[in-house]
Structure 1
Amino acid sequence: MAATSQTTAPTNIFFQAAKEAVLTALLVGMLSILMVGYQTEVLQGQTMSYVTRFDDVIWAMVLVPAGRFLLVLGRSGLLWPPFVLGGLAMIYLFTAAILGLAGSPLYQSLPLPYDQPMVNAIFGVGAIFVFAAAIKAHRTKVKGGHTLEVREAAEARQANIAKNLSRILGPILIVIALIVPWTPWGDRAVVDSLVLVMTYVMLGWGLNIVVGLAGLLDLGYVAFYAVGAYTYGKLSIDLGLTFWESLPIAGAMAALFGVALGFPVLRLRGDYLAIVTLGFGEIIRIVLINWQEFTGGPNGIGNITRIDFFGLPFERNPAPGIETFHTFFGLDFNTTHRVIFLYYVIIALALITNFVTIRLRKLPIGRAWEALREDETACRALGINPTNTKLTAFAIGAMFAGFAGSFFAARQGFVSPESFTFIESAVILSIVVLGGMGSQVGVALAALLLIGLPEVLRDLSLYRMLVFGGVMVLIMLWRPKGLLAYREPTLLLFGRRGKKKEAQA
């Protein structure tokens, strides 16, 4: 009987794994047949046609279910198949991708599913996930399975690792950000993309106050971004104010709108709060479209004054009597000068946002935000005023969005309602959640991933968003609480911190 049970158990595991692999293949086929199988193209006669890529669809229907099959085996206790096959696939695909990116002739002779090295590298990332899942399953088995105590201890270790990594990565990322424009690969396109990334880093840190620290789900954060942008646009055109003169006014105006949003939602929590904030963001966008006399309507506001270097504009042919940046410093005119200056301006604004957030978190108001996040009822019982706590969170978070909006308007020289749709709020919220709510360094990494990765994968054209979505799914499966997630309160009860350290030891 023992021999029979030992032989049927692996059979059942293989049957279950094969069943999930077949279902995965069907799902991949349905998703990719239209998105990958057909690609439209315009011929010389302006005739719309299409080309088929069914071979790519078939490879996807083979590779993805194979990874799912190995994952099920690993989670069911059969560790050697995913460990060996995942490791071999990882080494082979990454080696091939490196050869392809290096332009080696050997790459063309290798049997590979896809012609583009980056696509093969993405499947190599999937192989890493299979390999790591097998190692994780083995460690879980050795440490006693999936009991509550084991899971709590694992979460505590991961939070501690994330906290230590944040302390190390933070200064490293700042140094790298400061020196990127002066490196050999820091050309104009790279710096310009990093300006966009840093703008979203600043927006993510601002929303992190509302969502990560205060625990208030805000789906209309882009409204404050729009208020800051339009405030600077109107001040610049109607009153002739410079960016630096308009910056505090834009932040104050956005904070005022944050308070205006805070009052109607004082008694709301969870999903109801999210719905109201979503409606607020849409109201702002519709007002921008319909109030044509003030906002320009769908046409937006153009000819907004751009940022200058302490009165020195970055222009090739300025008006008579106006000295420019390149003439003052005796340089040849180069559009890269303005891009680099914008880059350091947004870095300065983002670092100010980060510094203020960290300082506020250690003050009584920051501790009140964390208490509100953990339990609003207990927060009220302790004598903390939830009304003031919510309003300050909305106001300060909105203020930083106003600063970022003002910078956006100065960078673009043009604003319109199309730049402030709901998808922008969703992207900013995704950055906060993916990075780990409450984690400043995690938000920066998530912004670099969510905003920078599509730019890096732009050459993949057809596969770009598919690859992007696949990487996001892998991350959320691997790190469901965020890249660097830890939510340890700033202030703990007397003696608790010491006990926690003893327990970890």
Structure 2
Amino acid sequence: MLNFFLLILIYSGIYALMAIGQNVITGYGGMLALCQAGFFAIGSYATAILSANYGWSFWATLPVAALISAFFGLLIGLPTLRLKGDYLAIATLGFGEIVRNVLNNWDSLTNGPMGIQKIPMPTIFGFTINPYKKWAFLLMVIIFVAIASFLFQRLARSRMGRALTAVREDEIAAQSMGINITKYKVYAFVLGASVAGIAGSLQAVFSLSVTPGTYTFMVSVMVLCMVVLGGMGNFKAAIIGAFIIQMISYFPQLTGLSGVIPPQFKQILFGLILVVMMIWRPQGILGREEHSYGRGHGHKGGSK
């Protein structure tokens, strides 16, 4: 049971990284994007291909996975910026499905539906971080989440964070104040994609294999649920939302009801969470994190 709970914590951390990236795009940029599964897949396969096929270490593949994911974030960000709301969601969803189909059919590079197996375990200072001995891997994931949370908290208080907040609240007013809307929206996509790519790298070395079937539309929906549940525009809330959603995902196994509850239960539950939260508490559990800016000091306020 302890081993299973550690598994949930590790996946909570990996998904928390994606939720932090989603929060930049949706919570701060105000863009309803459903493409985190695509960036997640790109990061996973970058690490899998470089480490399994070319002998790269995990730490060497990590920046490459982040940069490739960021590049695709730029590619998807630029043409879709003219779209809003449902249209943007559909376009970004299409990107995620394109990535999955490319991975499924590019046999020479990705090994098609069979995926890539025998990914080397990460090592640091001669110590192997064995995913089967979950404590060490959990510690590594926690460090990644803590660093990402710290950096993005700083980002939220920076000029870019203020600009994204202004764009989210009122694009016309932001543009009239001289804010380059296109530039900051693209920045949000690039940052959100890069952190999802890092999450993908961690996923690859945790499972020690990758297959296209892992990176479905439901992954993007789960990540969006995490952000909405915790509170958009709040990075700590995204981490809490990731843990709650993972607990819900593994609820049938935790309670021994996996044979009773149908596989579609998760999809129904995620949809229900989104609907209930939008009706009863649209600001999420913790709500949006407010900042006041003065002499470089941020002050946290209550939720709206």
Gaps in structure 2 of 5+ consecutive residues: none
Indicate the percent of aligned positions where both proteins have the same amino acid. 37
Match of residue 383 from structure 1:
178
Match of residue 35 from structure 2:
220
> Which of the numbers 339, 347, 352 marks the counterpart of 2:134?
339
Work out which of the two has the higher radius of gyration on C-alpha atoms and give 1 or 2.
Answer: 1
Match of residue 399 from structure 1:
194
Match of residue 214 from structure 2:
419
Work out the CA distance in 1 between the residues paired with 2:91 and 2:249: 31
Contact 1:432 1:446 (C-alpha < 8 Å) held by counterparts: yes
Is 1:469 aligned to residue 284 of structure 2? no
Q: Give the letter for the 2:247 counterpart.
A: G
> Which of the numbers 128, 141, 166 marks the counterpart of 1:371?
166
* Aligned positions, number: 289
Work out the CA distance in 1 between the residues paired with 2:79 and 2:149: 28
Query: Per-residue CA shift, 1:344-376, capped at 9, x if unaligned?
Result: 111111111111110111111111111111111
> Which of the numbers 245, 248, 253 marks the counterpart of 2:63?
248
CA 1:473/1:274 → structure 2, altered by over 3 Å: closer, same or farther?
Answer: closer
> Which of the numbers 479, 482, 485 marks the counterpart of 2:281?
479
Contact 2:149 2:236 (C-alpha < 8 Å) held by counterparts: no
Matched residue of 1:305: which SS?
coil
Query: Per-residue CA shift, 1:41-91, capped at 9, x if unaligned?
Result: xxxxxxxxxxxxxxxxxxxxxxxxxxxxxxxxxxxxxxxxxxxxxxxxxxx
Work out the CA distance in 2 between the residues paired with 1:275 and 1:487: 28
Match of residue 432 from structure 1:
227
Contact 1:367 1:490 (C-alpha < 8 Å) held by counterparts: no
Q: Give the letter for the 1:252 counterpart.
A: L
TM-score scaled by structure 1? Answer: 0.54
Contact 1:369 1:389 (C-alpha < 8 Å) held by counterparts: yes
Is 1:450 aligned to residue 245 of structure 2? yes
**Any runs of at least 4 consecutive aligned residues in structure 1 with deviations exceeding 4 A, and if so which?**
489-492
Query: Per-residue CA shift, 1:290-336, capped at 9, x if unaligned?
Result: 11111111111111111224333367xxxxxxxxxxxxxxxxxxx86
Deviation at 1:478, TM superposition (A): 4.4
User: 1:104-119 counterparts in 2 under 5 A?
Assistant: none
Which range moves more in the overlay, 452-461 or 232-241?
Answer: 452-461
CA 1:417/1:235 → structure 2, altered by over 3 Å: closer, same or farther?
Answer: same
Contact 1:305 1:410 (C-alpha < 8 Å) held by counterparts: yes
Q: Give the letter for the 1:437 counterpart.
A: M
CA 1:306/1:268 → structure 2, altered by over 3 Å: closer, same or farther?
Answer: same
Work out the CA distance in 2 between the residues paired with 1:200 and 1:306: 20
Deviation at 1:456, TM superposition (A): 4.1
Match of residue 274 from structure 1:
89
Deviation at 1:480, TM superposition (A): 3.6
Q: Give the letter for the 1:485 counterpart.
A: G
Work out the CA distance in 2 between the residues paired with 1:371 and 1:487: 14
User: 1:125-164 counterparts in 2 under 5 A?
Assistant: none
Work out the CA distance in 1 between the residues paired with 2:169 and 2:119: 43
Match of residue 7 from structure 2:
192
> Which is bigger in relative contact order (C-alpha 8 A, separation at least 6)?
2
TM-score scaled by structure 2? Answer: 0.87
Quote the RMSD (CA, aligned, Å). Answer: 2.5
Work out the CA distance in 1 between the residues paired with 2:286 and 2:115: 39
Matched residue of 2:128: which SS?
coil
Work out the CA distance in 1 between the residues paired with 2:227 and 2:8: 20
Work out the CA distance in 1 between the residues paired with 2:248 and 2:100: 28
CA 1:265/1:310 → structure 2, altered by over 3 Å: closer, same or farther?
Answer: same
Contact 2:129 2:137 (C-alpha < 8 Å) held by counterparts: no
Match of residue 460 from structure 1:
257
Query: Per-residue CA shift, 1:364-419, capped at 9, x if unaligned?
Result: 11111111111111111111111210111011111100100001001111111101
CA 1:490/1:281 → structure 2, altered by over 3 Å: closer, same or farther?
Answer: farther
